[in-house]
Structure 1
Amino acid sequence: MSSIKEYFFEVQQENCIEWIRQQYGIEIDPDEDEEHWAELAGEYSAMLEAGEAEFEWLNRHSHSEFFHEFSAELATASSMLTLGSSQHADTLSKLVYAHVVTLMEALISSVVRKLIVSEQILLMNLVAGYKKLSGITVTLKQIAEEPKVVEVIVLKALSELSFHNVATINQVLHAMFGEHMKGLGLNEIGRICSKRHDIVHRNGKTVEDQPIELTSQEVQQAIRTISEFAEDLKSRIYNAFTAKDAAEF
């Protein structure tokens, strides 16, 4: 094995040991616990492959594509309201209601992740302005070994966020775009997300154990509200990109 290959192997092994330490809080010696090492090293390798696949997927798409696909999926969800019988109308309404919020969450998550890997200034804005990221320490050694370590850390953090939480939506978007997100309408989105939480996590009941009753008209209104929110968000991002001074992000 050449000295370069040996060094690469050693670096990868050190990184894996550190990942195991952070993930599971244990110290492991590859030579003394070969079976356990093989299992955890395989998990680490799978994590790296998943991260690489994530980068490739994001690089294949534009944020505009995500908005286009979202609109199509939202229209499909709306059409589903006419498919059920009156006997199952309430259940169908709840399913569609929860689904459209999930579509919105996926849209925001995908757009944010796409933009932070393609626009360095937005990545830096997010790292500097979002408290859950600004306190993370990255060493020069990590940067030298993995130039994209910041993107990797940020993508991992974003994957753990819930974008049906309006506080999270607000904090992340304002950190990235600043004044361009001023006045972003989240009040009604918050009410919709709260009702979705009752549907998904309390079997369609409020914290007072009151059953939630949804009409198809109410679901359609929620769909319109989410659609209008997405259009507003797309417009704000477009305005940010067309601003004369990119530093105004």
Structure 2
Amino acid sequence: MIKGRRTNLAAVKEAILKRDGAKCFICGTLNGPFDLHHIIPISKGGDKFDLDNLVLCCQNDNRMLRAGLDEALTNEYLFSIISSSSNHLGQFMVTIESVKGLVGTQNSQRARALLNRMLYANIVSAMETYLSDKLISSVSRDDLLVRRVLENNPDFKSKTYALQDIFVVYEALRQRILDYLSSVIYHNLPKVQKIYEAVFGIEFPGDLAKIYKAILIRHDIVHRNGRSAEGVLVDLTDDDVLELVLETTRFVSDLNRRVQEAV
């Protein structure tokens, strides 16, 4: 992957075009013109020229990201992106844009701390939803992927059936597999990683240490009212939330690109 920082816009765009293959990172279109989109806005401290903070978008999808959720819900084109069952990256990014719009909007220390915990947990939930929806929708449309789930999952390998039941089992097989995938706990990243590797033949991108840590923090926020097992209140700053935005966006966009190339 091309990383680093360029010092002028032309060099930045050339590097991003080379890295992303001259296609929109959300919808995958090869038809430009394309815009550069900052994952962390410059107004919130994002680096204008850092390649890790930039992605390539077609102008329609960049308009969607800049519009945010409220306008998207009232705009026919933008609503179609959100509601599309196949554009899971677009759905994830709309959530991320909404989170970014809420960071720093509370003035009191207590309200800001509470908001940051809620936003932090929501980012992790959005990532898990992407992992679930991308996998299930891909498998539901492709017999080869159904077969890979069947052949590589020990829960199915261990089952035996009488010969006379083969056709009955076959007819219900796809739904059983989809039911199984729906039951997976998607914050169990090691298990999810193995499923993605078996089904799509790809590796999860990058170092996931920060995301693993974020999942543990999210558990304390959701299940322990924002306190650790030792009773310490989780304290998250605006920068903590924006750092997680950057980490999850990099991870999800890179993973989405790998899945798209694999299928």
Bin of the TM-score, shorter chain as denominator length: 0.5 to 0.7
Q: Matches of residues 86-235 of structure 1 in structure 2 within 5 Å?
A: 86=108, 87-137=110-160, 144-145=167-168, 147-178=170-201, 180-181=202-203, 184-235=206-257
Q: Distance in 1 between matches of 2:156 and 2:96?
A: 32
Letter in 2 for 1:170: Q
Q: Distance in 1 between matches of 2:139 and 2:161?
A: 17
Partner SS, residue 103 of structure 2: helix
Question: Residues 139 and 202 (structure 1 numbering): CA distance in 2 closer, same or farther, change over 3 Å?
Answer: farther
Using a 3 Å threshold, how does the CA distance of structure 1 residues 123 and 238 change in structure 2: closer, same or farther?
A: same
- 1:224 CA displacement: 1.0
- Distance, in Å, in 1 between the alignment partners of 2:209 and 2:93 is 21
Runs (5+) with no aligned partner, structure 2: 1-82
Structure with max Cα Rg? 1
Point out 4+ residue stretches in structure 1 off by more than 6 angstroms.
Answer: none
Partner of 1:82: 104
CA distance 1:134–1:143, shift in 2 (3 Å): same
- 1:77 positional shift: 1.6
- Mapped partners of 2:106, 2:176: distance in 1: 44
Provide TM-score, normalisation by structure 1.
0.65
TM-fit CA distance, 1:238: 2.1
If each structure's helix is expressed as a fraction of its own residues, which one has the higher value? 1
Find the aligned partners of 2:106 and 2:151 in 1 and give their Cα distance. Answer: 48
Shift of 1:135: 2.6
Residue 240 (structure 1) aligned with residue 256 (structure 2): no
Contact 2:205 2:251 in 1 (8 A): no
Shift of 1:147: 4.6
Distance in 2 of aligned mates of 1:235 and 1:144 = 37
Report the Cα distance in structure 2 between the residues aligned to 1:71 and 1:161, rounded to whole angstroms.
Answer: 23
| Separation in structure 2 between the aligned mates of residue 109 and residue 141 of structure 1, nearest angstrom | 34
Q: Is the Cα contact below 8 Å between 1:93 and 1:216 reproduced in 2?
A: yes
State the structure with bigger RCO (CA 8 A, min sep 6), 1 or 2. Answer: 1
- Give the SS at the match of 1:82: coil
What is the aligned length?
180
Distance in 2, matches of 1:141 and 1:193, equals 46
Deviation at 1:84, TM superposition (A): 2.5
Distance in 1, matches of 2:196 and 2:234, equals 31
1:147-178 deviation digits (Å, cap 9, x = unpaired): 54121111111221111121122121111123
Please report the TM-score for the alignment, with normalisation by the length of structure 2: 0.62
**1:45-64 equivalences in 2 (<5 Å):** 61=84, 63=86
